[in-house]
Amino acid sequence: MKKKNTSFYINKIWINVLLWILVIVVIYPLFWIFINSLKTNQNLFINTFNIPTDPLFSNYVDAWNMGLSGYFLNSIIVGSISILATVTIGAFCAYGLSRVESKWKMMIYYLIIGGLLLSPQSALISLYRILEFFHIYNTYLAMILPYIAFRLPFAIFLMYTYFKDFPKELEDSALIDGCTTFTTFTKIVIPISKPILSTVSIMTAIFVWNEFLFAMVFLEDSKLYTIPIGLYNFKDALTTNWTVLLAGIIIATVPIIILFLFMSKSFIRGLTEGSVKG
């Protein structure tokens, strides 16, 4: 018995050590960017790994005034609409597929999930021609619509497996009390399904906030640029203020970190239940 306990504690220590190593690997690059964002360009290259003795928080002000404020606003607009549309459409579609009995149901489901196999790069030319045809190239919609389309398959996949094992007794009780299917879905199913909705929201937010390819190809007007394209424009052909660029990167990461911290419990719970159920 003693041997088993000793072995258990040794394994636990090794697991903790491994997890701490992973934490350091993930956090250190962000820490390095932060300390170097408080330096001058000269100090950045001379004392790359030293903590600044005279931190320059003015780099953050410069980054914000160089246009990051506008890029930030564009990312919030595009991200908010994309997240709301993805979660709403995905929830209705996933719930409908999980409740409707039809011989075509699984075929429709697999066709939707097949969208996960489509590479964004392979669709660039087709999307470009479609956006031009509908005169929405170089607009917010040029980013929002592809973002929704490419995030929906994964959103539906997660929510379908979650809704499929949702306790139907609650829905039956609501129907007996006179609720319609729509009311049951919006008033009972959705409030209880916050974990999976949080998971889809966070994963969509991360994708949209960091997406570079579509924004680069489908936008020409600098006033519409989102954060990834805006930060890319901080890099000049001849001279680049690297510390201001690093400050911009830190500013860009803050919203996603805050979002995850506030919704981490729901995110992990929803991801586990949505991927394991069914």
Give residue-wise pLDDT tens across range 132-149.
999 999 999 999 999 999
Angle at alpha carbon of residue 178, lines to 171 and 166, rounded to 5°: 5
CATH of the domain at 233: 1.10.3720.10
Q: How far apart are CA 249 and CA 227, in angstroms?
A: 9
Counting the structural domains of the chain, the total is 1
The confidence score (pLDDT) of residue 278 equals: 45
Residue 37 lies in a domain: no
Which range of residues forms the domain containing residue 203?
71-276
Q: Per the domain annotation, does 66 fall within a domain?
A: no
Q: What is the pLDDT of residues 222-263, one digit of tens each?
A: 899 999 998 888 876 446 788 898 999 999 998 888 887 877
Q: What is the pLDDT of residues 54-82, one digit of tens each?
A: 888 899 998 898 888 899 999 999 999 99
The answer to whether position 196 is within a domain reads yes
Residue pair 131/123 in contact (Cβ under 8 Å)? The answer is no
Give the integer Cα–Cα distance in Å for 116 and 207: 14
3-state secondary structure of 115: helix
* pLDDT at residue 2 tops 70: no
Nearest to 123 by CA among 145, 96, 102, 106: 145
Classify residue 57: in a domain, yes or no: no
Whether 144 is covered by a domain: the verdict is yes
pTM recorded for the entire structure: 0.84
- More confident call, 278 vs 99: 99
Give the model confidence (pLDDT) of 170-200 as tens digits.
Answer: 887 888 888 888 888 888 888 888 888 988 9
Q: Decide: residue 128, CB within 10 A, 0-12 exposed, 13-18 middle, 19+ buried.
A: middle
The C-alpha atoms of residue 98 and residue 165 are separated, in whole angstroms, by 9
> Do the Cβ atoms of 155 and 200 come closer than 8 Å?
yes
Residue 201 domain-assigned (yes or no): yes
Is 79 contained in some domain? yes
Is residue 78 one of the residues assigned to a domain? yes
